[in-house]
Every structure is written in C-alpha cells, then in structure tokens.
Chains A and B, each alone.
Chain A
C-alpha cells in the first residue's frame, strides 16, 4: 500500500571504495541504485559489513561516492542537506552536554528558534520514555537510553527525510518493540520519509513499505520487497502467515549470515 508520492530522493549507480591503512582498496558498495518516494518507509537489511552505513552516509552527503550520483528534491547532492535527520549506528552524544542540550544541537547549528524546540524536545523525550532525564549527562545513561536520545536529536529539527542506521541495535527486545511502535506513530503522524537500516528482518518487514535486501560486500541490491500490510500495524501481525512468508523469503535470500 505504498501510496508512492513524488520522488524525493534518487540515487543512481552508487559505488564507494575505501583506501585502507594498509594501502589496499576495498569496494564497500557496488552499483547501488535506490529511490525514495515522498513519505515512504524503506528498510535495508544485509550482512554485516555489506555497506549499509556507507550507503546512508552517501545519501546524507557526508561521504562522497566514488561513482554515481544522488538527487534530492531534484538537485544533485554534493554536501549535507539541512532537511535530513541522521541517527548514527552509535549514539554520538557529546559528553559535555546534558541530554536536553544534546537533543538541541541541530537547533543550535541550524540557528533555529530555541524555545519551541525545547518544548518539542520534551515531548519527544517523553515519547521515547526519557522524561526526567533532560538534565542528566550521557555518561549517566545506559547504552539503549543514549541511542534513544540520538533518535530524538535526529527528529528535533523536523527533517523531511530521516536516515536511521540500526537505531534500535542497542536496545533490548521489549524496548525495541516499543520503539518500533513509537517510530510507526511518529511516521504516521508526520509522514516523513524514512530510510531505515536494520539487522532485524522482523523489524524491517513490520515497519516498511519496502524492504531492500543487500548482498555481502561489495554490497549490491539482491532484491526489493513491497510490504502491503495496512497501517497502523501491531505486533500480532508478526505471527500471521503472510508476514511469516515475507520474513522467510528474506531470510533465505540472506542465507545464514544474518541473526534475527
């Protein structure tokens, strides 16, 4: 039921090679093309090291592709775009700032109004279960809590495109489910476009309009799946036969290299 809106982002023929310290050159990503429609939720699953984070950084405009180009809202991306929010694989919180100040970093950098942003920050912190932690420092938080602060930070400036690199990777199973539901709620309320990287096939199928399955390094796209279930979805869906079919097919495609 991906009511495909107009094209928001179109990445064509992306390739990325890294020069390692030893002087060797490795190809992280080979000939990858993805397009994201406005308001679409797209997940990427693939074995560790296949270039998922690399793909996200290319889209975010913080790593330059070795070949290929990315077109965002009709323009070629050569640097980071202010309309994007990024959740990194590690929380990347600044230890000298409180939780609230960390969340407000994009507001400071983008010189946006602080007062409404603070109110919004409190709302979002509540949504991820972190009320009362506003003035704590990151070192006083668990890894999972830090990651949730990172998620709130990515949302604070209301970006049109959300890039999330295994945002729930550090969370326990229960919090993970809760966060998936929260993300779905945020997405349904704002219809942002989400590019979501995960190791969890279940999470990918549950959340997405479309799931992209990648091969081991050098990363290529093996197959794309369109997930038709209507929204809002709840976790009962995951025990239905149709859901199981998708999950099984993706798992077979990936082989045994991914833990679910």
Chain B
C-alpha cells in the first residue's frame, strides 16, 4: 500500500515536471501554436471536446465510441480467429504445413497497406474499420498462440497419453490451458493493434471516429485539438490494456505474476 502511494506520488511529480518542461520550451523557443501548442490550450480543447453535446460531431465521446466499437469487434474477430487457426494448425500438421507459408507472407506484409482495399470493398461505415482492426489483431494472437500450442511440456502430454485420453480431452484439458499464458500475451498485443487498425481505417475514409476527427483537425492546423485526442487515445489504450491484464490475471491465475506477460 505504502509502495503504491509512493509510486502514485512520483508519477504525479513526473507529470508536472514534463508539463513544466513543455511550457518552458515554448516560452524559450517561441515555437508557434500550430507546431507545439501550450499545455493550457490542449487542456482547453480536451475539456471542450469531452463536455460537448455527446450527440454532436464535436464531442470526443461521439467519435471515440465509434472507434472503440470497431476496436472491440475487430479484437473479438481477430482474437477468436487467431486462436482458432493456431489450434487447428497445432492439431493438424498437414494444415500447418500448407498454411504456414501464407502466414509468414502476410505477416511480413505491411498490413495497413490493405486499408484502402477494405474501404473499396466495405464502404465508409463500420465494416472496413472492423476488418482492418481484426486483420491487425489477428497476427500477434495467431503467432503467440501457435507458440503456446507447440511448447507444451512433454510430461503433460505423456500423462494424458498414459491415460489413453482422446484427442479432444488432450486439447481441452492440457493444450488449451497450457497455451493460455502465451495466448494472453498475444491478446495483449492484439487489443493494441485492434485500436490501431480502427484508426488507420478511419484515416483512409470513414464517416465517424477519432481518426476522422484527427484528419479534420489536421486540415485546419488545430494542433492543440490533435494533442487533446492523442491524450484521450493514450488513456483509452491504457484502459484496454488494463482490462486485458485483469482478465489475464483471472483466467491464467497460476502464471507467476512477476513474469512479463508479453514476451514477444
């Protein structure tokens, strides 16, 4: 408890120091507002965006909710898809042999380059955002889960072999839980990539979302407004990761909490 308080204290101190340096830099160099806005202006934009009528386009909530819905759907699809494909590939060597070259190929492709295609295919609503989000979330989940399914202690498999367990029993009772820590490592990355995917799709072309808001603010050089949204996105990302960590702690409670959750 005491350690927690001390951590919080120093976090606050460092934030004040950073803001102080930021303000001093502007005063000393006289950088124009559209290059580096002062902290006060960012704060002002932030409050304005958060308190605006939630059904108006100026509201950060209005835009963020759409981005987050796309993120969560994309995460769900990409996460379930990644774990499922990894499981199938681990169970059936043949599938793995056939599909693995494609996985490697897609993995080395800069996947955001697909975003314009998704817009052509799916339009300007929610669908391309979800598709991009799912695409980006899919790969880290797939690769981590694959590693999890492969790296199962031989002893555990032998225990189940000695009981002549069925393939399904081996999968459910040993492979899935054994792979769970690495699956979660993949999901922790996946949620971050899902958010990234949604915003990239919004940059390319969408009606609504924080990505749209950023491009609009950019076109009128409202740098303080962009900064305000970045702050909001940082907080949103932090919340998403924290929720994932809590889920991980709940579902993979046996994993030592002092090991870093995402090794990749």
Which residues of B156-170 have CB atoms within 8 Å of chain A's CB atoms?
156, 158-165, 169
In contact, A79 and B164 (Cβ under 8 angstroms): yes
Alpha-carbon separation in the docked complex, A14 to B173 (Å): 32
In contact, B160 and A109 (Cβ under 8 angstroms): yes
Alpha-carbon separation in the docked complex, A108 to B160 (Å): 11
Does chain A have a CB within 8 A of B177? yes
The verdict on A106 contacting B177 (CB below 8 Å), with A88-B158, A94-B156 known, is no
Count of A interface residues, CB-CB < 8 Å: 23
In contact, B173 and A105 (Cβ under 8 angstroms): yes
Alpha-carbon separation in the docked complex, A80 to B161 (Å): 6
Which of A61, A94, A109, A139 counts the most B-chain CB atoms under 10 A from its CB? A109
In contact, B163 and A139 (Cβ under 8 angstroms): no
Which residues of B138-197 have CB atoms within 8 Å of chain A's CB atoms?
153, 155-156, 158-165, 169, 173-174, 177, 180
Which listed residue (A57, A110, A137) contacts B163, Cβ 8 A? Answer: A110
In contact, B164 and A82 (Cβ under 8 angstroms): yes
In contact, A62 and B173 (Cβ under 8 angstroms): no
In contact, A80 and B163 (Cβ under 8 angstroms): yes
- Residues in A with CB closer than 8 Å to B92 are none
The verdict on A57 contacting B254 (CB below 8 Å), with A81-B164, A94-B177, A109-B169 known, is no
Does chain B have a CB within 8 A of A254? no
Does chain B have a CB within 8 A of A95? yes
- Residues in B with CB closer than 8 Å to A108 are 169, 173
Which listed residue (B158, B163, B177, B254) contacts A109, Cβ 8 A? Answer: B163
Alpha-carbon separation in the docked complex, A106 to B161 (Å): 11
Which listed residue (A84, A92, A139) contacts B159, Cβ 8 A? Answer: A92
Count of B interface residues, CB-CB < 8 Å: 18
Which residues of A47-94 have CB atoms within 8 Å of chain B's CB atoms?
57, 60-62, 79-82, 84, 86, 88, 90, 92, 94
Which residue of B is nearest A62, CB measured?
B161
CB distance from A192 to the nearest CB of B (A): 16
Q: Mark A130-154, 1 if CB is under 8 A from B, else 0.
A: 0000000101000000000000000
In contact, B173 and A109 (Cβ under 8 angstroms): yes
In contact, B155 and A109 (Cβ under 8 angstroms): no
CB distance from A31 to the nearest CB of B (A): 24
- Residues in B with CB closer than 8 Å to A80 are 161-164
In contact, A92 and B163 (Cβ under 8 angstroms): no
The verdict on A96 contacting B161 (CB below 8 Å), with A88-B155, A137-B254, A139-B254 known, is no
In contact, B163 and A90 (Cβ under 8 angstroms): no
CB distance from B171 to the nearest CB of A (A): 12
Q: Mark A106-143, 1 if CB is under 8 A from B, else 0.
A: 10111000000000000000000000000001010000
CB distance from B249 to the nearest CB of A (A): 13
In contact, A62 and B162 (Cβ under 8 angstroms): yes
Alpha-carbon separation in the docked complex, A237 to B174 (Å): 44
The verdict on A84 contacting B156 (CB below 8 Å), with A105-B173, A137-B254 known, is no
- Residues in B with CB closer than 8 Å to A137 are 254
Alpha-carbon separation in the docked complex, A195 to B155 (Å): 19
- Residues in A with CB closer than 8 Å to B180 are 96
The verdict on A95 contacting B165 (CB below 8 Å), with A57-B158, A88-B158, A90-B155 known, is no
What would be 13 A-B contacts, judged by CB atoms less than 8 Å apart? A61-B162, A62-B158, A80-B163, A81-B164, A88-B158, A90-B155, A92-B156, A96-B177, A105-B159, A105-B163, A108-B169, A109-B169, A110-B163
8 closest cross-chain pairs (CB), A and B: A95-B254, A62-B161, A80-B164, A86-B162, A109-B163, A92-B155, A109-B165, A96-B254
Residues of A within 8 A of B (CB): 57, 60-62, 79-82, 84, 86, 88, 90, 92, 94-96, 105-106, 108-110, 137, 139
Residues of B within 8 A of A (CB): 153, 155-156, 158-165, 169, 173-174, 177, 180, 253-254
New contact pairs (20) apart from A81-B164, A94-B174, A96-B253, CB-CB < 8 Å: A61-B161, A62-B158, A79-B164, A80-B162, A80-B164, A82-B163, A84-B162, A88-B155, A90-B155, A92-B153, A92-B159, A95-B254, A96-B254, A105-B163, A105-B173, A109-B160, A109-B164, A109-B169, A137-B254, A139-B254
